[in-house]
């Protein structure tokens, strides 16, 4: 076994005395481990002592791809109360969007003259000698359209909230049997 530590003064003196006592044996030198990548030597140096091919060079233009950590998770349970709150808020937002879209669509169609043109055609088709026929413009007035759209939006809020909550209960029952939905999440760097 070789000692890789630095020589200590007592051991160096004992080794010198042992070397002097044993003729023909050279005195021990401190151990120097071999270098993995030795510095290049002069042109007359022995082969292999400092080959340029053995020297490791830094990679300059190499692109390393970032490691993406992935985690497999399972949605084992959906809390019905939180599902109800979220679905209620989302369905209210959808109801407001429906009312605004109906108002904008009615205003665009009225500005294009769709109601007057179609209303004139319908009143001619349904009219008789005694009466004027059906008046489409008074039937499809903006307040009536907005009231009808608001009723539809309220029904949508109630139904969407109830169906989402029921869906959470059904998911929890089926997740108890099959274990739930497995997701793989990846982290971008």
Round the average pLDDT of the chain to a whole number and report it: 78
E strands within the chain? 70-75, 181-186
> What tokens does 19 get?
């070397």
Residue 1: strand, helix, or coil: coil
Cα 7-8-13 angle, rounded to 5 deg: 100
- Map tokens 């053995």 to a residue: 54
The rounded distance, in Å, linking the Cα atoms of 151 and 158 is: 11
Q: Report which secondary-structure segment, H or E, holds 34.
A: none
Cβ contact 136:51 at 8 Å: no
Q: Considering the entire predicted model, what is its pTM?
A: 0.54
Strands (E), 63-156: 70-75
What's the rounded mean pLDDT across residues 109-130?
77
Taking 60 as the threshold, does the pLDDT of residue 145 lie above it? yes
**Which residue would you say has higher pLDDT here, 4 or 138?**
138
151 or 62: which leads in pLDDT: 151
Residue 52 has pLDDT above 60, yes or no: no
Structure tokens at 184: 């793989």
pLDDT tens for each residue of 87-102: 999 999 999 999 999 9
Instruction: Report the percentage of the chain scoring pLDDT > 90.
Output: 34
pLDDT over 80 (residue 164): yes
Range with the lowest mean pLDDT among 2-6, 113-117, 132-136, 168-172?
Answer: 2-6
Strands 181-186 and 70-75: antiparallel
Give the pLDDT of residue 91. 97
CA distance 18 to 3: 17
pLDDT the model gives residue 116? 78
CA distance to 95, 151, 177, per residue, from 100 (Å): 9, 14, 44
Give, in order, the Cα–Cα distances in Å from 62 to each of 58, 59, 103.
Answer: 10, 6, 59
Confidence of residue 46 (pLDDT cuts 50, 70, 90): low
Structural contact between residues 65 and 183, judged by C-beta atoms closer than 8 angstroms: no
């Amino acid at each position: 076994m070789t000692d890789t530590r630095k020589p200590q003064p007592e051991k160096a003196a004992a080794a010198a005395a042992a070397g002097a006592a044993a003729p023909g044996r050279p005195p021990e030198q401190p151990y120097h481990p071999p270098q993995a990548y030795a510095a290049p030597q002069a042109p007359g140096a022995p082969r292999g002592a400092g080959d340029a091919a053995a020297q490791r060079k830094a990679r300059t233009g190499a692109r390393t791809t970032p490691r993406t950590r992935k985690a497999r998770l399972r949605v084992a349970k959906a809390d019905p109360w939180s599902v109800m709150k979220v679905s209620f808020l989302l369905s209210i937002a959808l109801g407001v969007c429906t009312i605004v879209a109906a108002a904008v669509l009615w205003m665009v169609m009225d500005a294009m003259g769709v109601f007057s043109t179609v209303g004139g055609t319908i009143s001619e088709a349904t009219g008789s000698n005694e009466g004027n026929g059906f008046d489409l413009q008074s039937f499809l007035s903006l307040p009536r359209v907005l009231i009808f759209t608001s009723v539809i939006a309220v029904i949508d809020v109630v139904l969407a909230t109830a169906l989402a909550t029921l869906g959470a209960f059904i998911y929890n029952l089926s997740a108890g049997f099959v274990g739930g939905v497995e997701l793989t999440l990846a982290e971008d760097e």
